[in-house]
Amino acid sequence: MTETLRVIEPATEQLIEEVPSGGPEAIDAAVDAARRAFPAWRAVAPADRARLLRRIADLVDEHREELARLEARNAGKPIADARGEMGMVADVFRYYAGAPERPNGETIPVAGGQAFTVREPLGVVGLITPWNFPLAIAAWKMGPALAAGNTLVLKPAELTPLTALRFERLALEAGLPPGVVNVVAGPGETAGARLVEHPGVAKIAFTGSTAVGTTIAARAAATLKRVTLELGGKSANVVFADADVEAAAAAAPAAVFGNAGQDCCARSRILVERPVLGDFLAALEPAVAAVRVGDPLDEATQMGPLISAAHRERVASYVGDDAPVAIRGRAPDGPGFWFAPAVLCPVDPDDRAAREEIFGPVACVIPFDGEAEAVALANDTTYGLSGSIWTRDGARALRVARAIDTGVLSINSNTSVRVSTPFGGVKRSGYGRELGPRALEAYSEVKSIYYATGAA
Ligand code: NAD
């Protein structure tokens, strides 16, 4: 009997679809297909590869509404957000479509000949992705991987495989040869683990939890695979007393309740300088009350349900009777994994809620006194992914930005991700960078060639 994944709609708890669930054999077959497709794909002329990537972008645009609705239903995210993510998927392919035709090496003066470098593709790359931004995060990996000339096997998260499976068909429709893009939906412990261990896979690009990422790094070492890891976060949103406090408070809810808090970049620790704590909370309260939680397919919705019942139970454990709940939003009743946004204040920096990645719509407000304490608190975490600084003092903004140990940081803004700028973490948030020009380096290797000319 064929194993299946029952794909559930978090907003209704109803079955959307059952899809085949692949195990190690399905991964082996996909890797074989990718290995067979590799020699021809790496040899595709640069302009032709660029054209195919642009064609993928065009097809994603043409199917934007269909893909956005599928993602909104499967991941429980607001349709407006899902449309934005599909726009980014197309943008990523367009951005990396420029890569095959750009210079990719250097010449180096040496005696007796000519030395130069070229970048070569790695071969078959394995991509393992989480459920929170299913197709967007897959695209961050697929775009540079394909542009650099690799073939790939993508294993999406068990809970949200639908857009990746749809994308696999769109890639064929765009004209990519069979075997270049292979998607295997299946469990992490079997299908994912096989991809990590497979001797025919050159690299694993993983986005997910720190616990699984740590296991993957250890297991990939057995075959000396390259690994890039985009892992969890517990980022700080630092509000100084000289900031535009109203603006900081207005932006704070989206920064932690966006995607129902299931965002690795969530600024879930809001550090507020003590003299403006009262003003900040007063401005935050109506902003939290205004967050519209509801049907992901409703255009006005700003926050959908959590991904699953089990995840909701975990998130709820941080908002128990003893939690200092200062502000609570509203959420629908009835079927669906709903959870009302919550702001805890004041939170002791040593509390579990302040230290662990909740991955839900729960913000911890922690008061501080002065710049040195702000930096110490911001760095008092095992993670280092994103963060924000709100101040009108430009010199302070730059001082603090340099002092916070994190991969990505915004000043007077809560945004983290752009197609053209590097994204990734430090500490337990992982290593390697996605997006931007450097991502290509993670999907290729430098070859150094020396041509003896007999010259002195
Ligand atoms: P997860 O680690 O449970 O799963 C991620 C993927 O790994 C899934 O596809 C899963 O099937 C697979 N997997 C699980 N066990 C595996 C194994 N032993 N071998 C190989 N693959 C395995 O993460 P999740 O719950 O899907 O996602 C939430 C986590 O992802 C959060 O911690 C979040 O912070 C993180 N995340 C990070 C980023 C980033 O860019 N830094 C972005 C989004 C999410």
Residue 370, pLDDT above cutoff 80: yes
Span 200-224, pLDDT tens digits: 999 999 999 999 999 999 999 999 9
Our answer to whether residue 234 is catalytic in this structure is no
Our answer to whether residue 77 is catalytic in this structure is no
**Enclosing H/E stretch for 207:** strand 203-207
DSSP lists the bridge partners of residue 118 as 447
How many Å apart are CA 205 and CA 33, to the nearest integer? 19
How many Å apart are CA 276 and CA 391, to the nearest integer? 12
Give the per-residue pLDDT at 456: 67
Our answer to whether residue 168 is catalytic in this structure is no
In single-letter form, the type of residue at position 316 comes to: A
**Cα dist. 249→91, 254, 355, 365 in Å?**
30, 10, 22, 12
Does residue 197 have its Cβ closer than 6 Å to ligand 1?
Answer: no
Span 52-86, pLDDT tens digits: 999 999 999 999 999 999 999 999 999 999 999 99
Q: Mean pLDDT over residues 425-451, rounded? A: 97
What's the token pair of residue 339? Answer: 């959870």
Residue 454, pLDDT above cutoff 90: no
Instruction: Determine which one of 9, 71, 77, 141 is catalytic.
Output: 141
Give the per-residue pLDDT at 451: 96
Span 268-288, pLDDT tens digits: 999 999 999 999 999 999 999
Q: What is the mean pLDDT of the chain?
A: 97
Give the per-residue pLDDT at 1: 63
- How sure is the predictor about 232, in pLDDT bands with cuts at 50, 70 and 90? very high
Does residue 157 have its Cβ closer than 6 Å to ligand 1?
Answer: yes
Rounded to the nearest angstrom, the distance between the alpha carbon of 383 and the centre of ligand 1 is 15
- Side by side, the strands of the sheet bearing 325-328 are 325-328, 342-344, 362-368, 269-273, 236-239, 387-390, 410-411
Span 377-422, pLDDT tens digits: 999 999 999 999 999 999 999 999 999 999 999 999 999 899 999 9
Residue 21, pLDDT above cutoff 90: yes
Cβ neighbour number for residue 415 with a 10 Å cutoff:
13
Does residue 209 have its Cβ closer than 6 Å to ligand 1?
Answer: yes
Residue 179, pLDDT above cutoff 90: yes
What's the token pair of residue 28? Answer: 């082996």
Nearest atom (ligand 1) to Cα of 212: 2
Q: Mean pLDDT over residues 348-360, rounded? A: 98
**Enclosing H/E stretch for 18:** strand 14-20
How many Å apart are CA 6 and CA 8, to the nearest integer? 6
How many Å apart are CA 445 and CA 214, to the nearest integer? 24
Sign of CA dihedral 402, 403, 409, 413: negative
Span 304-321, pLDDT tens digits: 999 999 999 999 999 999
What's the token pair of residue 41? Answer: 């794909």
How many Å apart are CA 132 and CA 141, to the nearest integer? 15
Rounded to the nearest angstrom, the distance between the alpha carbon of 401 and the centre of ligand 1 is 28
DSSP, collapsed to helix, strand or coil, labels residue 87 as helix
Q: Classify residue 421 by its DSSP letter.
A: S
Q: Which residue has the CA at smallest separation from atom 10 of ligand 1?
A: 188
**Beta-strand relationship, 151-155 and 181-183:** parallel
- How sure is the predictor about 334, in pLDDT bands with cuts at 50, 70 and 90? confident
Our answer to whether residue 65 is catalytic in this structure is no
Phi, psi of 148 (to 5 degrees): -80, -5
How many Å apart are CA 209 and CA 214, to the nearest integer? 9
Residue 343, pLDDT above cutoff 70: yes
